Structures are given as structure tokens and as C-alpha cells.
Structure 1
Amino acid sequence: MDKQKRLRKIFEILRAYPDGVNGEVISRQVGVSSRTIRSDIKMLEKMIKKYAVTIKSAPRKGYFMKCEHPFLADKFIKDSMISNPTVAQSSGKPEEIIICHLLLNDYMDTTVTQTCLADEQYISLSALKLYFNKCKYIFNKYNLKIVHYKKDGVRISGEEGQIRNCIFDYADKNKDFAEKIFSSIDMISIDEVISKVLREQKMQIPDIDKASLCIHVAIAVSRSKYGKNIYYPISIVKKIDQTFEYDVAKDILEYLYTVLGIDISYNEVYYVTQCLLTSKKFFNTATSMENLEAKKIVHAILKKIKDELLIDFMDDKYLIDGLVLHLNIAINRIQFHMNIRNELLETIKNDYPLAFQMGVIAGQVVKVINKITVNENEIGYIALHFGAALSRKGIAEKRCLSKKIIIACAAGLSIAVLLKAKIKEYFQERLDILDVMPAYSVTAKTLEKVDYIFTTVPIDSIKSNKIITINNILQTEDINKIEKIVFDNKSINKAYLQEFLHPQNFFVDKEFANRDECIQFLTENAIHKGLMSEKTKASVYERETVSSTAIGNMVAVPHPIYNDMKVSFISVLLLNNPIQWDEFLVQVVFLLSIKKGDNKLWETIFLKLNDYIRSKNGVESMLKNKSYDMFLQEFSSMF
């Protein structure tokens, strides 16, 4: 790859990682040494200076780009393309571009060689293989495979429904991909047809779900054009035929034909119906029988959580009602193999570990009762309900004179409930939450009734210092902002940590090839020392199959779903070289095993580990020092 191509590639990588990217990551993607990357970045800095774009570096973030005006960055790309117009225009991470390429090829039943994929992104074949591992892991979530087709190259293989799920997710992630597959489709007209039918049928669904339905219909149209039809067994067809949503779907396809002239296979009416069945409704359309079945499942979930975690939610009516409504829709989604995006998944896993653990347990109960596998995106949404329930348990009942606020939200009910509960949990009597409402309902009169409005989306129609924008899920930056604007203004020590963080469980300079070898080594060592049983070891592997415990920053935190031991411990493993752990590279592994019922300790340790890794440069320190004493000193200072 010549220098001009390398510089363009480095620029695209920096744009794809706005929070920063390590020089080693860039060197692997470009296929040159770190030294060459440093030299190229210096040259690139000079080239982009006139476009008001700068490249910064920080110890914990790596290289990151600052751009005063995004359109100038686009202009740099266009200017740099003049000398080589064949340069790939796709944006995004390398594995994302590969996935989109393979999905596009599936429309035409064509293959692509790995050499072509590498040349398209100006990376070496060895670098491509690393990204292929990530692609295989991602495709596996959809039950899709990358297969070699004779000697012509590679393509994807799997069921049409799962291919559509993957297309749906990546159409949302990658604008270039969406523009290509929908280039001949009038999305505005499709949206108008859907809105008209929903009004006529008096069916109300959230805006987010309506937008998703529009994309699903567009996918049905685009796939049908290429003969990529979806078929349903008679057992599913009989079930769908009896639903109200089936009539709505028929009307949508009828309007597409009569108004827009779009003539597609009648099988697509079942596809559109399943999309409607798996949408959230503003009213509960479940039958009394479905609600009864869902209540039985919820009761089993809460009993399992009570037995395993010693936390009793059996009398929490808000939680029970919320889970019943959620499971009625979620089980339909899973049975119809409809994926749901959960953009908050990583935040939930990293910031609400105990709630996510409860979601995992709930998923296992559903799996036993309904014989279906609950994916991690669904588990994340179930965890939101438990996050709110945990917050309610910790809220003091006393109230006193406080600031009156309203929460304005654009997300779903479960997220709004969790946000409200977390705000109440942290600020308690200092804030009086009068209401939670959609952002579009906020008016000037609303402002007159309160001291502040906390909103998760910009409210452009009203300008006021009373409006404070926060995240969908309350984070540290939000708390600091509220403290500063509204109010103007260690329970675990080193000795206690040493009780379950022993030097003999601190392993350095180890060589393992994969995730399972790491877990096998740590769990067998724990069993040998009487810290873990075979049952708990099996639960560690079971937890890993539900959702990866790799959390980024070269770290994984494997742990059991269920623990039958009466002792807590942490084992630490430092590898000489990083390994592929699902979609992440991992070099530091923490096996976290906290005894049954000690949930506060479990969540505290997990959150502090996460903080140590992300904000205190913990991984770099551990790999550099390889010292138990140094780690204990640094980690204990977090409390």
C-alpha cells in the first residue's frame, strides 16, 4: 500500500473511533509497523491542518481527531480522492465494512475473495483474518456463517429471516450500506403508507417502532425483487392468520401495490405481520391467556432470583406488570426469530451488572419453560426492569422540601422508569419528580410548574436555563451536571480486599490460545483450592454462552450465573499476548466469584474494576508491573 493510501486509511480509522484508538490497533488495520504509523500521523497532521482538523493523543485514549466543522473533514476525503477515485468510499470499522459487503453480495448470490476485501480497505491479508474472526462471531449471533464457495471466494449462508435481521441492524449502523440497498426505494412513501394504515386501523405504536417497521418493509421489498423470499411453516401461518396484526399487514401490502405499484410476494404479509406482533403497543393487546402464561413465567423468574440471589421482588407490582407486558412481546420476537437492537447494551452490562445478572437468570428461566433462547439484547431490556426495581428497594420514603422536576424522554417506558428510579435513588428527597412525559409534550406552561426539566433529547422549541439534557441511563457525568446546575454545589478497604484477592490467585506471563483455555485454567485452579465447585464452574461457561463477558479495553470478567459456594474470591490472569475473546481482544482476565447473597459486594467490585480499567489506565499498569502488590494498592485506592 502506498503512502497516500495509508494516510487516507489512517484518517478513516480515526473518524471511526471518535473516542480514541491505540497506535497498535491502527498499525494492525493498515498492515505496517507502529513506527511507520507515528511517522504517517505526523505527515497527516500537516495535510489536514488547513481543514481545521487536528490529531491529538492521550495516554489512555491513544490517537483521536478533533474537527471544528465535520463538512471540512468530508472535503479532505473528497480532495484526497481526486488522485485515486477508486478508493473505497465505505465508512465504518473494518469488520462492519466486511459484513456489509457480504450482505450486499447475498442479494446477487455473488462471492468475493479475501484478497479483494483486503485491497478494498488497504489492509494486509493477515490483518483481514483478525477482522474475519470478529465477523464470524457477529454473524454467529444471527445463526449465519461465512462459507467458502468452491474456489470463487466467500459468501454468507443462513436462513432468510436471519439474513434480514442482520441487514436491518447494519442498515441502521452504516449509512453507506443503507443507501445502497434502499437506493431504488421511496422510504418516505412507504412511511406515509404505514402511517395511513395504522391510523385507519386505530393501531398505535411508538415512533421508534414505526421507523423500524418502515425499514423492515423496505427490506421485504428489496429482498423480494431479487427472489429472496421468506417462507413460514403452516403452524406459524395458522397462528398469524388469527391476529389483528395480520389484517393490518394485509392493508399495508395492498396500499403498497395500489398506491406505489410495488408488487411483492404474498408471503411478505406474514413477515410484516410478525414485525407488527413484535412491536411495542401503547395498549396491551395480549389475550388473558397470554397474560396468564406470562405471569407464571414472571413468578418463576422472581422465585429463581429470590432463591439464587436472596433478593425478594415477589410483591413488587410495578416490576411484575412491567415484565408481563415485556415478555408477551419479547417471547413473540424470539419465536419469530426477530432481533431487537439494544443500543444501551454495553452501558447496561458495564454500569448495571447486578440488574444484568438478573436479566441473565430471567433468560435462563424462559429458556427452560418456553424452550427458546433469549439473546443478550433481550436480556439487556429485561435488566432495565430489574434496575428500576433495585432502585425502588433502595429509595428512602422520607420526603422534604426539594426541587420540583419533570423528566422528558423519547425512549421506551422501561428506560424512562429506570431513569426515574435512578434519579430518585441518587438524589432522594432533594428532587421531587412530578411527572415523566414525552419530550414533544413539554410547553412553556410546563416550565412554569417546575424548577427544572431533565430531558434525554434536545427540546429545540423552547429555550430555557431550566432545561437540562441528560443521558437515557443516568451516568456519572449526568450526576455531576445536576449537582453543579441544580444544587451549585469507603466501605471496602485494602485489608478487606485481601480476604478474597489472594496473591496465589494472581497469575502472570501465561500463554493461552483462546477464551475456553483461560476459563479452564482459572476454574480448575479454583476447584483445586476448594474455592469453586464443578457446578459453579459449569455456570461460568453457561454465563459466557448467554453473553460475552469481554468488556473492552483488553479485559474480560467471567463469572458464574449461580454460585453454590460460601466463599468469595477473585482470580487474575495476565497473558503474554492478547487472544480473541468473542469480538474483543483480551489480555487481562478477572474470574469474579462472589458468594451467594452478597450482591452488594458483587456489584461494587465489578463497577470498581470497570472504573479502574477505564479511568485509571489499569490494564497498562498491570501488564507493565505484573505485580500483585501494585495491583492491590492501586485497586484498593478506588474505594
Structure 2
Amino acid sequence: MSAKEYIVSKILNNNVILAVDYKTRQELILIGKGIGFGKKEGRKVNIHIKDVEKSFIAYDEKTKKEYLQLINQLDSNVMGVSEEIIAMAEKQLGQLSSHIHIALTDHIGFAIDRIKMGLEINNPFLYEIRALYPEEYKAGLLAAEVIKGRLNVTISESEVGFIALHFHSARQNKRVTETMKDTRLLKEIIDMIQRELSVSIDNRDLMYTRLINHLRVTLNRLDEKKYIENPLLSNIKEQFKESYRISQKIGEYIEEKKHINITEDELGYLALHIERIKETSKIISRRVTELYQA
């Protein structure tokens, strides 16, 4: 079969339409270059299979009402661009939760309105997002290119970071608020370490990336109730007393925020990271002193 019959429900842009499969009566998003050009809403059309780059259901029955409300509220071009971005992201990141069609589309529409009004917002977790979710951040950069190319709107790095959060949440089948909460917690933990050690960790440094990724993996393990053993625990507690004390303080903070138990084994591994930061900071400080004394 070279073509299928559809009823065109909504033309989102020249490349994206909302349509109903004439035989199955299933509502679909169809994406393909020029697929919406010259089409009329409410009409039956024949569309060649080769012209459809991607077709999918944009929502489940639970979210259908929200999606249809968005279609009525948002500019069709914004809807179309958002669907192109989601399709592109799925090629890079794999299957995303169906809720992204509502959450990300709504976010992009709101972001574009804000930018047009000159109301830019700052993303306080930008560096953490880049370090924690590099694949999603790359997809966010491509999304920015699509928005610029299709809508002639330039979005900031802060907005790229927020889009990356939406991608990560959809990969994990979580709400963006949950992902934001975890990202905020990780930033707070790093701030605690910096205060306790009286150091400043460069967020572009490999040490920073290692630390934040270790913390992310640790929290994921604890969320999933997966526990690991630390054969070096007794040595760590004895040799790195200050670092272990700081890790205990952080453990108490995590327990308070997430209501999960942090094992001593996990605290031992965290203490090793803290010790490395402490020793590296001492070396850097010594070198700076020597430089000024020279």
C-alpha cells in the first residue's frame, strides 16, 4: 500500500498535522516535510507512506483532554515545532513519556511568550543540568536551533536547560517537578560540601562532574532500595575523619529531604569524594601561594 486515507483534524504547520486514520479512527500526529502544505482541515486526504517520516499518538486517553485544550490555546506553529522537536529528541534519546507532548509544548509556548515580552528567566541549575544530563542537554541545543529556524526566536542557555529537564523527565517517566526537586537537592549538597570545606568547586571542572554524577547515582540507588558494600569503610572512617563527618551531615540532610535511609557504606564512598576535593583544593591553594611568593 503506497498511501493511506486520513481526515485532517488540525494543521499545526507545513510539516506537522493532527489527523484521524480513516480506517482505524485513531488520532495521530503525522510528521513529514511539507505534509501539511495545501491541506484543508476536516477534509479526507490520501497521504503517501513515504511522505510520513513519523506518525504517533501524542497522548493517552488520560491526557487527551489536556492536549486538545493546548491545540485550542497555543499558536499552531508552536505546536508543530514542539512536535518536530519531540520527534527529533526520540531519535536521539529513545521513547519518551507521552506526557511530554503536553508538558514540553506548554513550556515552549510560555517561554516564547516571555521572550517576546522581554521577560527572560534565569536557570539556577544550568551547570548541574549540563553535568547530569549531557545527552538531554545536546537535544535541548538542537531544539533551540529548530525554534530559531522555524519561529525566528532565539532562546537562552537557561531555556535550553529547562528543555533538557523535560527530556530527562520524559525518559524517566517522571514529572518535571520531581526532576527539578532532585536537581535542586544535588546543588544544595554540593553547596554544603563547599561550605564545610571552605572551598569553591569550579562547575566546569572534571572533579565537579564526577561528584555530581556520583551523587545522582547514589540517590537513584537509594530510591530503588539497592544497597552496596564498601570494603574500605573502616579505613575511611579512621583515616578521613573530617570528610566522613561531612558525609554524615549530608546523609542526614538527604534523609530529611527524601525520607530514605543512607547506609554507612554509601557515606564512606561520599567521604572519598569529599577527601579528594579537600586534597585537590590544598594543592591548588599551595601552588597559588608559591606563585605569589616567587
| TM-score bucket (shorter structure) | 0.3 to 0.5
Give the TM-score of the pair, scaled to structure 2.
Answer: 0.40
Q: Rg larger in 1 or in 2?
A: 1
Give the TM-score of the pair, scaled to structure 1.
Answer: 0.20
Indicate the structure with greater helix content. 2
Name the structure, 1 or 2, with higher relative contact order (CA <8 Å, separation 6+).
Answer: 2
